[in-house]
Amino acid sequence: MRKAARLLLLLVVTALALTAPVPAQAGPGTAHGRSVLGLHSGWSFHRGEAPGAAEPGFDDSGWDRVTVPHSWNGRDGQDGGNDYYRGPGWYRRTLPAPTGGRVWLQFDGANTTTTVWVNGRLLGEHKGGYARFRFDATEALRPGRDNVLAVRVSNAPDPDVAPLSGDFTLHGGLYREVALVLTDAVHLDLLDHGGPGLYLRQQRVTPESATVAASTKLVNDSRSTARVRLRATVTGAFGEVVARGQSSVRAVGGGQAVDLALPLTIVRPRLWQGRADPFRYQATVEVVDTGGRVLDRVSQPLGLRTAEVSATDGFALNGKQLPVHGVNLHQDRPDVGWAVTPAQHAEDFRIMREMGVNAIRTAHYQHGETVYELADRHGFLVWTEIPLINLTTDSPAFRANIETQLREMIRQNFNHPSVVWWGLGNELWHDSPANNALLDRLASVVRAEDPSRPSAYASCCVSDRAGITQHTDGIGYNKYFGWYTGTFAELGPWADQLRAADPARPLALSEYGAGASAFQHQENPPSVVPASRWHPEQYQSAYHEAYWSQLRQRRWLWGSFVWAMFDFASDSRDEGDHPGRNDKGLVTYDRGIRKDAFYWYQANWTDTPVVHLNSKRWTSRTAASTTVRAYTNAETVTLRVNGRQVGEPVSGANRVAEWPEVLLRPGPNTVEVSGFKNGRPHTDTAVWTLRE
């Protein structure tokens, strides 16, 4: 009985701990400097307008109960018809009311315009669907009483907020994390465009030493002067301190903010080397009062590295040329839209690593913190960009908003070593004076905010040397020869001619790809109509074989990025085997099937043994004679059909093994390809049934 009673007591205590508000304390910085309380559960949601919902006494008992992250377009945004809901949605929940210090509401991403109230008091509005933002909720909270948070989110089109257009579903809702952040009245700035308040500026990196300035903005939200100092440490893989610094005591007046920077030197630094060695230090800055009490503490990743783009040598990491094997990456999943879990993001990175990817372009917007953290950890290079897509509004409000979105992206991701390129937009349709002036302004913002990283732009649909291609440090082009226009063979000559016309301009291929259904098959399809419902997988394979064979010869390109890594929702599309989907991914939307072209890149981009039988899902056949193909990096590959070897072993030197005019017998046929890699056998098998 006593054991059962103890178990019951433990369950009660645990339940109380999980549901109780944060306890009152003298100040959140007393023990830990800063704390974060995730607001995942307890939300009520209504899709549509709800007059009066900002008021604390509003009756939301009839609303849906949801958890956050949440999107209201998970299903209607992926089924085609271009008719998914774009309008307002409301969220409400109660909040704990910690006492002492400051309390901030933090939203990691909400699309597109978000307005926030606490207890009926308006905290503010944020316009932009992809960046983190915060509001100071301190004065609106009532200690010891229920507090009501009300949030109105709308993904309705707004001519003053980018993107105005895009070939992807603009999922609405609180689709990333929401949290309360508790700090002391004296803290690093939380309202600096959603940034961490700590910016690690690498000033000099050599094999002997690295010099870093830990730049901060210190804010005193109290009414009295605070006397504080900054204390900084850099730690290595096992927590060992490799650098430290401390400022003198500073007096910061009530309601004031000051900029402070600490120089830090790391002797014989270990560099962040991309996928070869994605080593990171951790830099921590503390705000300490004269009594030694930690008022605030912020930690950020520190990956020491240099990165350059060149018109002649392509991309160099830490002074060494590195071929950029990139893919474009959207952020959605079936049925949930953009409300993707950290585990799902981690799965995406595992799949990309498997294929040999070493770079991603976060199309066409700033992705969430989890993505950049995973890129840091796995050694991926990142081209991240603002959602300046297709169309613009020539208005002061639009220009101010997209500039704000750029500053948010830079400051929030400044410390991630994976971030190499700041992207200023994609496929503006008009080479107008207004668009040129806008891109010129945005390029100047990048130079002022972060001169250590190059800016980039992805061009399409205008002249290759149009004015809008001339503003950034590097230029990328979205080219689909053999899909939307022309033939596969045009890619190489196009690149060579463009380079010859402007030999000093660093060039990249920012997009290339072809649609494919994993369930539609045709041997040697001569062409495909992109807007049709027939996208045989074999055409995508032929496309990527032709493209990569040309790209790998042109090492002067600073990058190439496949469109796209995964199929994604585009509700306006009606093509391939599924309406509402862009099927150019190398992996299906649900991540369940790696299409054949995936293995083409794996054979070219990795040392992993690859022996992959192409068209293996094409199990029902009507033609007795067929060409058998395999992607491989094995020394030689052998084909057997129904246990009998066909022809001689084929070399895998060109990553493709092929056996023409192989005869299948009526009924089931066991087709097996096998090869040796590093002295070990590898086999892939399928059963193809010939229908009489």
Please state, in angstroms and rounded to a whole number, the distance separating the CA atoms of residues 60 and 207.
61
Instruction: Say how far apart CA 639 and CA 664 lie, in whole Å.
Output: 13
268 contacts: CB under 8 Å, gap ≥ 6:
207, 208, 209
Active site residue 427: yes
Pairing type for strands 474-478 and 507-512 reads parallel
Strand order in the sheet with 314-317: 307-310, 314-317, 320-321
Residue 688 near residue 665, CB atoms below 8 Å: no
Residue 131 tokens read as 């960046």
Q: H-type helices in 465-578, by residue range?
A: 491-501, 537-551
- For 561-625, the three-class secondary structure string (H helix, E strand, C coil) is EECCCECEEEEEEEECCEEEEECCCCECCCCCCECHHHHHHHHHHCCCCCEEECCCCCCEECCCE
Smallest CA-to-CA distance from 456 within 423, 429, 433, 486 is with 423
CA distance 527 to 504: 36
The amino acid sitting at 379 is G
Sign of the C-alpha dihedral computed for residues 12, 15, 19 and 22 taken in this order: positive
Q: What would the DSSP string read from start to end of 405-463?
A: HHHHHHHHHTT-TTEEEEEEEE--S---HHHHHHHHHHHHHHHHH-TTS-EEEEE-SS-
227-242 b/e (C-beta count within 10 Å ≥ 16 → b): ebbbbbbbbbeeeeeb
* 3-class state of residue 207 by DSSP: coil
The DSSP annotation for 12-60 comes to HHHHHHHHSPPPP-S-TTTTSSEEEEE--S-EEEEES--TTTTSTT---
Between CA 271 and CA 279 the distance in angstroms is 7
Question: Using a CB cutoff of 8 Å and minimum separation of 24, what contacts does 266-270 make?
Answer: 266/209, 266/210, 266/212, 266/234, 266/242, 266/304, 267/208, 267/209, 267/242, 268/207, 268/208, 268/209, 269/205, 269/207, 269/209, 269/210, 269/304, 270/236, 270/304
Give the single-character DSSP code of 270.
P
Q: Of the residues 177, 427, 575, 672, which is catalytic?
A: 427
172 closest CA partner among 90, 270, 256: 90
**CB of 511 closer than 8 Å to CB of 543:** no
Distance CA 38, CA 277 (A): 32
| Dist. CA 486–CA 18, nearest whole Å | 61
Q: Using CA atoms, how far apart are residues 668 and 665, in angstroms rounded to an integer?
A: 8
d(CA 509, CA 314): 12
* H/E segment holding residue 272: none
417, 272 contact by CB (below 8 A)? yes
CB 185 within 8 A of CB 222: yes
CA 259 to chain centre: 30
Residue 136's SS3 state is strand
Token pair listed for 402:
């997209």
Q: Which residues are catalytic?
A: 427
